[in-house]
Amino acid sequence: MKVLIVEDEAMAARRLTSVLEQLEPGIEILAKLDSVKRVVKWLNENEAPELIFFDIQLADGISFEVFEQTEVKSPVIFTTAFDEYAIQAFKVNSIDYLLKPIDPKELENALTKFKERATPTPEQPAFDMGMIQKAMEMMTRQYKERFVVKIGEHIHTIATADAAYFFSQEKATFLQTHEKNRFIIDYTLEQLEQMVDPDKFFRINRKYLISLEAVRDIVTYSNSRLRLILKYSDEMDAIVSRDKVQAFKKWLDR
């Protein structure tokens, strides 16, 4: 098996090589590359390897940029330090993905999937480039840093980091700060979900988009739901919807 390793951390590249050689004694590591520029150059000058291990974050950018600059004909296994949420967008494009530090058993399973997969054809290419684009947008997205609010005749800005949570009430949307202030803002909760970092804010139901710092307590509730006791609020309707409970627990467990 001829393999290309794309990894900008020397120690991680050595570990991956060592585990691969143990699992596949006849494996041939064609090259170890650490940047988008070097990968593009290598792929343009060499025959496609049988398999590429692609780290997401490289020395000069994100590895998805390689797919924009040249044709990647080989199946890919992504390796990444990002958590599962961040890599859902590109999961469908790869044989598999591995979280670092790489577990030998998970690597073995990924290689098994690679061997079982049929060779890509024009009708069934290795990659859906539309999904690669979506993945790249997710990984490079710039989240909103501040909000403009009106206080009397004055205009102020509130840093997103100062927001405890956002909530809707009587067809208006409010920003509640950690300083116990609340302001009307000109966005819906649906719009805010796309603007703020999902690692920091979670939409628990139709009314609330919260930060972890805003949660004082979590109480089990009827029908397998959870009720949150929020700081700076006496409201009793901060209920995690039943269909969001598992995702919420996963968001908490980071």
CA-CA distance, 33 to 73, in Å (whole number)?
A: 17
Which range marks the domain in which residue 38 is found?
Answer: 2-140
Same domain, 8 and 129: yes
The pLDDT of residue 7 is 94
pTM of the model: 0.55
pLDDT at 93: 46
pLDDT confidence of residue 136: 62
Q: Where among 115, 140, 165 does a domain terminate?
A: 140
**129 and 159 co-located in one domain:** no
Q: What is the structure's pLDDT at 133? A: 65
> Residue 99 has what pLDDT?
79
The count of domains in the chain is 2
Cα dist from 130 to 64, 92, 93, 127, 134, whole Å = 12, 11, 10, 9, 6
Claim to verify: residue 159 and residue 63 sit in the same structural domain = no
CA 242/CA 223 separation, integer angstroms: 7
Per-residue pLDDT, 81: 76
Token reading at 108: 């073995």
* CATH number of the domain enclosing 152: 2.40.50.40
Residues 172 and 202 in one domain: yes
- Which pLDDT value is given to residue 245? 92
Give per-10-residue mean pLDDT for the chain (254 aa): 94 94 94 95 95 89 87 86 55 63 89 73 54 63 87 92 94 93 94 90 94 92 89 82 90 83
Q: What is the pLDDT of residue 100?
A: 81
pLDDT score recorded for residue 141:
66
Residue 97 sits in a domain of what CATH number? 3.40.50.2300
Which one of 120, 140, 160 terminates a domain?
140
